[in-house]
Each structure stands twice: as C-alpha cells, then as structure tokens.
A and B are shown apart, each in its own frame.
Chain A
Amino acid sequence: MTETPLLSVRDLVVEFPRRGETFRAVDGISFDIAPGEILGVVGESGAGKSMTGAAIIGLIEPPGRITRGEIHLAGSRIDNLPEAKRERLRGKRIGMVFQDPLTSLNPLFTIGRQLTETIRRHLPLTPAEARQRAVDLLTEAGIPRAGERLDSYPHQFSGGMRQRVVIALAIAGEPELVIADEPTSALDVSVQAQIIAVLKRLCTSHGAAVLLISHDMGVIAETAARVVVMHHGRIVETGSVGDIIKRPREPYTVRLIEAIPSIRRLHGAPATAPAGVPDAAPLVEVRGLSRDFVLTRRGPLQRLLGRKEEVLHAVKDVSFTVARGTTFGLVGESGSGKSTCAWTMVGLLRPTAGTVLLSGHDIWDGREGERYRRRRVQMIFQDPYASLNPRWRVGDIIAEPMRALKLAEGRSETEDRVAELLRRVRLDPAALRRFPHEFSGGQRQRIAIARALSSRPEFIVCDEPTSALDVSVQAQVLDLMQELQREFGLTYLLISHNLAVVRQMADHVGVMHRGALVEERPVDALFDDPKHEYTQMLLAAVPDISRVA
C-alpha cells in the first residue's frame, strides 16, 4: 500500500466505566483501510467489533468513551473533533448500516421522506432533484418500481427490501467509508446473499471502502479481501481471507475456524452412524399434516355478505417419519412453516388436518393423546434468554416438568435428579440455587436442555437451538446434544435455517418451502445431490468458507 490509507486506526481504546471499575470494550487495536477496500472484522459477541465501528463513526453510547489512540480519516485526525464537526462527517464521509433492517427505519415516515431528508442534508439539491436521486439510489439497490415505492412506509417492505433501503440511505451522501455492522445477520440465507451483493456493488460503484463487521466467517469470506480477527477487544490476527481460513496462525483463530460448521464435509468425518436400528418402526410419524391460519376474522356483517375468509396455509400436507434414535433436520426460510410444523408436533398448535403419531399413538387424540404426549415429547426453544423464567431458580425450572407430571417423589429425590441432569449437561450442580441471568447464553441453553430432559422424553423438538449463540458456543451445544442422543437414545427434530448445522447433526433432512415439504432425503444425498430446484437455490446461497480458494 503506497497511497495513504483512507482510514487509519492507531492503538484505539474504548472504555466503559461500570460500578467503580472500567470495562475495556476495545483494547489497543490498530488497522488501516485503503480507499475502496473491503475489510472484514470477525469475532464473537463481546469481542469489541461493533464498538470499533461505533468509535469510528463517533456514536459510542455514553458513558463509554475513547480513552486512548487516534482515528485518521484520509490523513486528518477525527477522533478529537468537537461534536458539531463530527456530526458533519456522519453520512457525508462515513456511512453506516445496522444489523436489523426492521428497526433501522423510522416507522412513521415514508422511505422517500427519509431518503430525501438525508440527501438534502448532504448535497445541495432541490426537493425535486433529491427525489429523483432517491429513486435512482433505490433502483440501484435493486428495488423494483422505485418511483412508486417511494411513498410507502417501512412496514410495507420485507426485511431484505428494507435492508436495501438502509444501504441506499447509508450511501446517499456519497461517503468514502461505509461501516456495515452485521448487515445480514437478521436476514434469511437466500436474501443474505443478495444483500451482500447489493452492498458490494453499491460501494464499489460509488467508490466507498467498507468495514464489514460480522460474526459469520462465511459472509466475510465471500465479501472481503482482508480480515481482522478480534477477541476480547484485541486484534488476534490480520491477514488475507484465504490465509486466515486456510493457514490460521493464532490458536484462537484456529479454534474459531474449526468451530464453524460447513455445509460441506470439511474435516472428513463421516456421518455419525444412526444410533437406532435404521429399519425399526419409526418413532414419529407425521401424516398429511396441514395447518391454516385465518388472517381476517369475519364479523357477523361480513359473514352475511358472504365475504370470504383469507386463509394462510402455513403447513400444507406434510408427511415424514423419524426413526428412533435419529435426528430429522427441517430447513427452510422464515415463514416456510418449519416452526408451525414443530408446534403441532409438540402439542402447542392443533393441526387443521392430518395426524402426528408417536409410537403409533395419535398425540392429538383427546386427553389420552395429551397424557401420552406430555411426558414423551419436549421442546428446546431458540432464545435461551427468553425461554427461562427470570424469577425462578434454575433448580425449579428444571424440576418443573417432573413436578407437573409427578415423576419424582419428595423433595430430595427431585433435587437429586435435578443435580444429576445438571451434571449430564456439563454444569455444576450448585447451579440449581442460582437464577438464569447469572449464566451466559450457552449455559442457559444447557439449562433449557436439562429442563427438556427432565421428564425423560423420547422425542425432543429443537427449534433453532443454536441460532442465538456464538459459533464456538454453538459447537459445544451441538456436541452436547449429540452425546445426550447417544446416552439416552433420544430422537430429535432439529429445525434450523443454518444448513451447516443441519448437515452436521441430522441423519435425514426435509426442506420446507411455502408450507410444503419439497424434498426429504438422507442428509448426504440431499446436500451432495439436491434434486429440487429450491434446495439447489438454498444450498447455492449459503456463504461458505470452504469456497475460498
């Protein structure tokens, strides 16, 4: 690099004073970005990635502040500028894209208004010219009929479309640098690839450099040339994407790369042989399952006028079987009916048609079916922060299924079994006296698993069990789930939008699309030779580190 770097960060420290002590979110990091370059920053939550981005654009939430170091933009120092001058850099020279497109836009203003106010703030244009430029930007960002959509409100767009609007807003003032903080983490896989492409195309055509922050090495690998690996506020390693993935030098980077599941079999491990006998009678049998949701409730008047109900067919005639001791993976985008399917199988949502059989018993067969189901079927939810009652002690949370089903006699037996369960999920039995907030996300998900195991179920439905977790924690939780499957002979239904996780865990995979099961085959067959075109599209859209040369 002979020219002066566009952005130069030197020995940056960001600290948060917190109850007497100071917490260092960013601890002495230095890096450069050349004009027009795309630099990836990767790391797990709490690594200080987002804080670095916030420091560069000058939006650190108080009481956090930069306590040391310098930030230079195109050769001049910006971190010590007064707020009024700092404000003028934002949007004009440094743009930013946030993670969640659903909350990034003001819900009460049309997107046209938000675009034109940003454009006119930075460029000397008349309202009509600004409007024209807004249309051009949206068209460039891939929004069809942009002129008409300008007067729509944010809620009238899908998540992917909103993120396109956000990107258009970020480059509206022709900034030299765009900071993209997890721009695709809240989106579906198939949309993710398009948004990355839009971001890359727009920044290239407008000559903006990009600082791409992501926890997803796959996204970085497909977008950036160079990558910075962060851990605990420090830079662990910097290098080209190929080097970091193929030849990581630092032990932390090695662990991080290894923990990433791939949709290809990278490490050469063969599929774990199904623990159960393959041709034994299936444990779970789903036959012709359908579930509709009525979208518009008809009032008595509408019914008289014969107005039709609008019905959403969330799940349409889905049939599959799960053999005892195996894992059935269910993949698909959000809204494809995966979760609806799971809810009917655990008894949370009554199917409109079809049956769910567990060892031949219909779980929706009145009180009899319910009694049969309640002990044998359990569920693990996505968000371990929301699925545990914050006012209950861990011991009570885990003991609840036993108490509700009267599986243990007396307090001491209950307590013994809770302690045993905690040991099984590799937690200290002393944890039973503590509250959920004292645990990290990964530990909480272990508690949720212990709760699911507490009624000694045969079948556990796991709805996105690791999507809220960091990659390294995800790997640990998945390992634990596999070990428990062998120990207890459990049968899993694993729902995930993360195809790599499904490839690692499942024996059989079903692909759902718009409520229908479009393909259902053994895992390797499906991933190596997808038959249905939707499956092929889905697999091609996954950003994957193994594609880096």
Chain B
Amino acid sequence: MVAFIARRLGQSVLVMLAVALIAFLIFRFVGDPVASMLGQDANQGDIAELRDRLGLNDPFYLQFYHFVLDALRGDFGISYRLQQPVSDLILSRLPATIELAVTSAVIALVFGIVLGIYTALRRRSVETAFIMTVSLIGVSLPTFLIGIGLIYLFAVELQVLPSFGRGQVVDLGWWRTGFLTESGLKSLILPAITLSLFQLTLIMRLVRAEMLEVLRTDYIRFARARGLARRVIHFRHALRNTLVPVITIAGLQLGSVIAFAIITETVFQWPGVGSLFVNSVQAVDVPVMAAYLVFVALVFVVINLIVDILYWVVNPRLRDSASGGR
C-alpha cells in the first residue's frame, strides 16, 4: 500500500514539474515582462537594471528553479491587469468555483448512477426509452446553449431564479460561501444544473452500459442460481462491479468540472476562477494564465491520485499484485 502510494506520488510530482515547465515557458516566450512593466519610453539603463533585479539574466535552469520554489510558496507573481498577487486572486475566487463544481458533481453522480441503474434494470420500459432520448439531447447540446435556455425559461419568463452572480455570500474569514443564504442557494441552482448536465448523462450512460454488461456475466447468473434475492444481486453484487470502471471515468470528469467550468461561469457571470481566466486571456495577463495552468494540473493530479487509491480499495485483485510484490 505504502509503496503503491509512494510510486503514484512520485509520478504526480513528475507531472507537476512538467506542467510547471510549460507554465514557465509561457512566461518567457509570451511577450517580454520588462517591456510590459516599464512601458514604451523606458531607457536602456532602467531596463538593464530591472532585468538584473528580476534575475532575468540568470541561466535558464536557475530561473526555472526559482519559479518552482516561488510556486511552492504559492507565489506566482503579480497580475499585470489587476496589480494584485496572483495567488490572492485565485484564492479569493476559488470558493465560488469549488462550491459550484462540488454541487454539480454531486448532482451528476447521484442522478447519473441512480438513472443508470434504473435504465439498466428496466431495460424495455417506456420510462427508459424516454430517459435515454432526453439524455441524448443532454450529451449533444453545447453547455452555453443549455445555460442560455435555462436563463430564458426560469429567469426571464418565469422569473423564479436569478440569472447571474452568486447572490449574497457569508464571509467565514477564509471562505466566502453562498450555501448559507437563500439568494446564494437560488443563484446556485441554474449554473449547477447547466454544469452537471453533460457529466450526468455521461455517467448515466456509462453506468447503464457497465451494469448491462455485468448483469450478463456468469457470476450474476450463478448468484441467481444460488437463489439470492433479486435486490441483493442487483445492488450488492452487480452494482459494486459496475462501479469499478465508472470510478475512473467519473473521477476524471469531476476534474474537468472544476477545471473547465469556464463556459458556465461566463454564461452566468459566476465570480469563479474560470471567469478570472477568461478575463486574463483577453488582457494577456500571463502570470494569471500560468498560475491557472498549474492549478488545473494540480486538480487533475490530485483527483487521479484519489481515483487510483479508490480503485485499489475497491478491487482486491489489484491489491494483491501491488502489495505482494508478485
């Protein structure tokens, strides 16, 4: 177990270093930081002095080394656009994104798994046919269209839910949450549904396909031949086997929910990390872009690590070959 996690951690560190290198290269090659800091009419002496002070005359590897050290301390420099430390910017926006992502991930997982099981067990019912058709729409419609459609229906026509922003937030000192106020919760509904819809249909279809596959296996037939109750066969034997492959895909999907909430955040003007990134791209705010890149990679690496460990816990076959050293 320890060796397994250590190996995975080692691989994660390698991935993070590679991403940091790419982020660092963006710094170096997308425009000259000195030019953007001093402006057009700076004299040569000032430029040379600033270059020296910023360490830009150091060799490449030394600069990268400093970049990584700073990044580890959470220092990604100052935003060109907002003139604030990048890490403060991201941290202040992170709660909004995480609350949105977690809510939509929960929606996607709960409804995806429940509907997936339902449609697999009631394979020929009318409800299944209906759900499958609707899910096809969910997969094929782009996120922004669904978002705009929901805004039109619930915010413009019915006027029951707000169309943008986070509503009122409560400041807990280190975290600003929208979960504790009515307007915060109301504001969360539409973006969370929009963001979860694609993942929901994907997880549902995956669970359904896996479940149908598992129900055809010999051990399910044998479980029936042993006279086990239908409920036990479906929800103990079949479900657990179904979830083994689902964990991998669902984990990576949740990663992309956190990392790529950009479109949803833009449509609903959600004050999260995604909209920060979009604004930074427009202003060529390189430090924010680089930090965002590292942040997204970190999210994926952490989720991947969790998925691997989960997989290892669920699947006894893996446990043996990893710890037994066989």
A residues whose Cβ falls under 8 Å from a Cβ of B: 57, 59, 87-92, 95-96, 98, 100, 103-109, 117-118, 121-122, 153, 155-156, 166, 169-170, 172-173, 295-296, 310
For the complex with contacts A88-B227, A90-B224, A91-B228, 10 further pairs of A-B residues with Cβ separation under 8 Å are: A87-B230, A91-B225, A95-B225, A96-B226, A98-B225, A104-B219, A108-B241, A109-B240, A121-B228, A295-B326
Which residue of B222, B320, B326 contacts A98 across the interface (Cβ within 8 Å)? B222
- Once A90-B226, A118-B228, A296-B326 are accepted as A-B contacts, the answer to whether A59 and B221 lie under 8 Å apart by CB is yes
Instruction: Report the separation of the CA atoms of residues A296 and B323 in the bound assembly, to the nearest whole angstrom.
Output: 12
B298 within 8 A of A: no
- For this complex, 14 residue pairs linking A to B, each with C-beta atoms less than 8 Å apart, are A87-B229, A88-B227, A90-B227, A96-B226, A98-B222, A98-B225, A100-B218, A103-B218, A104-B219, A105-B222, A117-B232, A155-B317, A295-B326, A296-B326
B325 interface contact, C-beta 8 A: yes
- Check B21 for interface membership: any CB of A closer than 8 A: no
Complex Cα spacing A100 to B222, Å: 11
Give the Cβ gap from A465 to chain B, nearest Cβ, in Å: 27
| B side interface size, CB within 8 A | 25
Q: How far is A121 from B240 in the complex, measured between Cα atoms in Å?
A: 20
Q: What chain A residues lie within 8 Å of B159 (beta carbons)?
A: none
Out of A89, A100, A105, which one reaches B227, CB within 8 Å? A89
Query: Which are the 7 A-B pairs with shortest beta-carbon distances?
Result: A91-B227, A96-B225, A90-B227, A103-B218, A153-B316, A91-B226, A104-B222
Chain B proximity of A262: nearest CB distance (Å): 32
Query: A173 CA to B325 CA in the complex, in Å?
Result: 39
Interface residues of B in 203-241 (CB under 8 A from A): 217-219, 221-230, 232, 237, 240-241
Instruction: Point out the residue from B217, B225, B228 that lies within 8 Å of A117, measured CB to CB.
Output: B228
Cα separation A106 to B232 with both chains bound (whole Å) = 13
Say yes or no: is B244 at the interface (Cβ < 8 Å to chain A): yes
Q: Is the CB of A109 within 8 A of B228?
A: no
The complex places the Cα of A59 from the Cα of B316 at a distance, in Å, of 29
B84 CB within 8 Å of chain A: no
With both beta carbons as reference points, the residue of chain A lying nearest to B325 in the complex is identified as: A296
B246 to chain A, nearest CB (A): 13
A209 vs chain B, min Cβ distance (A): 16
Contacting residues, chain B, for A89 (C-beta < 8 A): 227
> Are B237 and A106 in contact, with the CB atoms below 8 A?
yes
Contact A121 B227 (CB under 8 A): yes
The 8 Å CB contact of A108, one of B224, B228, B316, is B316
Q: Considering the chains assembled together, what is the distance between the CA atoms of A117 and B237 in angstroms?
A: 11
Alpha-carbon gap, A98 to B221, bound state (A) = 9
Most buried by B among A100, A104, A122, A170: A104
Q: Is the CB of B227 within 8 A of A92?
A: yes
- A143 vs chain B, min Cβ distance (A): 18
Determine the distance from Cα of A215 to Cα of B224 in the docked complex, in whole angstroms: 24
Residues of A within 8 A of B221 (CB): 59, 98
B314 at the interface (CB under 8 A from A): yes
User: CA separation between A326 and B217, bound complex, in Å?
Assistant: 44
State the CA gap A196–B314 with chains docked (Å). Answer: 34
B181 within 8 A of A: no
Whole-angstrom CA separation of A129 from B217 in the bound complex: 30
Asked if B57 lies at the interface with its beta carbon under 8 angstroms from chain A, I say: no
- Distance in Å from the Cβ of B219 to the closest Cβ of chain A? 5
Q: Name the residue on B nearest A113 (C-beta).
A: B236
